[in-house]
Structure 1
Amino acid sequence: METVPMGNGSKEELFEKGHPVIRELKSIPEIIFEEQIGMLPSSAIPVKSLFARKQMDHFHVDSLILKKIALQVLHILKKLSQKHIYPGLIELQEFYVDMDNSQYGVVLLHPEKFQLLTFEQDYEWYPEDERIFGDATLFDEKMQQIADNRLIYKILVASARGNVKIPPLKTEADYSELFYNILSEEWKQIFENREICSYEKLQNLLEESIQMEEEFARMTKESIDEKSEQNKTKKAEELQARKSGETSAEQFDLFIILRTELDNSKKISKMLYLLQDELELENTLSGYNCQQAFVFGNGAVQVKTFQNYRTGFRCQFPQTIREYSSGEALIIGTDLMKEKKEELLLKNGENHKQQLCLYILMDGRIKNDQLFQIALNRLQKLKEEGVKLCLRMVDNIYCEACQKLKDIVEDTQRCC
């Protein structure tokens, strides 16, 4: 085999002298050098980092994404082969993938271990790699194909480990076993038989696999969209049926705000606004005619009757809190809910469709005093009478009073 003479000097000096291999590398746009790394988009991350479980979950990486990344990597390896440059083993951290690009564009950072044609034993050999490459004195075309086939395998099974078995061993470190199991039998046979595929065959296999998965994804999306449209039509028909009836279903939501932390009163405001957004959407879909009322700490009833508010209404409440009594606020709220329930019973009878919900919002520790004990008994009675009780907290709050509330209220959520 003919090689380009290495010349004298270090790799850095050879780069500066314009070694012919470096000139060839710089002609491949997907290969970048250290001085160009700052030009990469912020969404570009090393492939090895992407394969960490946390990143895989964050970017919702599936087998289709892995195949698109593998195809981009294969294009780079193919160009190197066409120029008769055999770099040896290339590590995953030397490839960067742009996760904001739907085609998942990949670039290769010119690695320090990039061989200038002649083989140098400066790799960190793993047992499996040493068994395959350890006796080599030169990375020729065949040895490079073995290394590149192995690299494509690691990408398809999302293995961030240096040494990888075929099939991969069960491990908590990554998802390699999962992605291996969902490979088609054709891919499995290639890897298990250690078949050395040409770049053209790998490219065809990847393109076919991507096309099949994209077609499956399209059909699945169409099916989901069709079902969603059917559900919307059904909801619209139900809503129309309710509107055409003599009476419409009603919902009454009571919000009791027990405390606002002095250091950041916006937390509970945000929690209330998000809850109102959520309820508006539910009522729109279900066709409920909704009324709301609000009670605040220190017994200050800002909105003391149930009313219909315009869509998007967000109750503004005082941002400064004096000495407060959570028990007093809860008692006022439960009395208000009891009055509304009795009023509806007299007006509509028992068969009228209606739902009453009492939401307790809090973002700090509350007092477990005598009034609070009375309020708990009233909450328990409302629950037994069919009123839905919900507790929303800005964060996990640990106090005796809060625990007693959690014991009574079935629907408890922590909000950010």
Structure 2
Amino acid sequence: MAIQLFKAKYEIDECLEEIRKCLEIGWTGLGFKTLEFENAWKEYTGFPFAHYTNSSTIGLNLAVNIMKEEYGWKDGDEIISTPITFVSTNHAILKSNMKPVFADIDDTMCLNPDSVKKCITDKTKAVMYVGMGGNMGNYYEIVSICVENNLKLILDAAHMAGTRFGGTIPGKEADVVVYSFQAVKNLPTADSGMICFKNGELDKIARKKSWLGINKDTYSRTTSLKNYKWRYDVEYVGEKGHGNSIMAAIGIVQLKYLDRDNAYRRQLTKWYLEELRGYEDKIKTVRIEDECESSCHLFQICVDKRDELMVELNAHDIYPGVHYYSNTNYKMYRYAQGTCPYADYVSAHTISLPMNLYMTHKDVDDICNVIKAFLDAVV
């Protein structure tokens, strides 16, 4: 049987029961379960605000757009970001007519603090930090850099659902945190996300902007006891970006099992590291900080002849991935080609090995045996 990179694992009966509640009362859109999921997420993370969206992409777009407007940033102002990420991260900057300035990464696959410092100019307004694979990297050094330089911090936590540092969910230091609950993420729905502003006024704006700028959503108007509940104002030219109750129903269930599932991902990671021991001269793995309890969304290795190894794995019905092709290779970001040498190395040498929850210890053994045989043969 093929071993896939990702395969979502759902608590099917419980999910269907939560969805059934939506169908029985006839409410599948914004409100009802979306509010319940937001409250559950705030309780789980300790964040004061959480707004459920239809994707993390729209969450990132809202984060940059709202902060630009509220803090008076100008077109052409800069946000320091990473080239090793899904394009949603950096597109959010471009869509607000701002410029991504790419800092290099380090051996944690996250932003290198020294590189970030070198990128700061008079136009720098924020840092976009990506917790790659669920890893924290040198996040708290970046927090200090932002404080010292009066920069806002946006945490792209698409891979970080359930990540802890010293036993605590990180991100309360950031101005906004954006999570992904996309189909293959650690907390999977069909697609959705959560945007968590530190400032409650910005949370209110996000709720309006994700409902086309309307200042009263349909659920609150329906449940209101006041007259004229059909009246509302449109305060912004917004997006149709809010989440719905069907996806939220799935999220409510999956949240209950997030820590259990992440613990198994950490076990898969441990097995990989054990099986690849002795090949440190041919394989570079990602460094994880001692106090970081990673969500382990990814297990990545850097190897020579990456593409040939992927072909060999495919020949054994093993299907890894690449996270990510450096964004500086895409036409809208080519102005930064050559500025991030370690990111370029990672882009050309990294493989994400299968991390789905249906895998067994034997599956990890089989994958590692193919890798070791390949590495032995190409020496």
Q: How does the TM-score come out when normalised to structure 2?
A: 0.24
Higher helix share: 1
Larger RCO (alpha carbons 8 Å, 6+ apart): 2
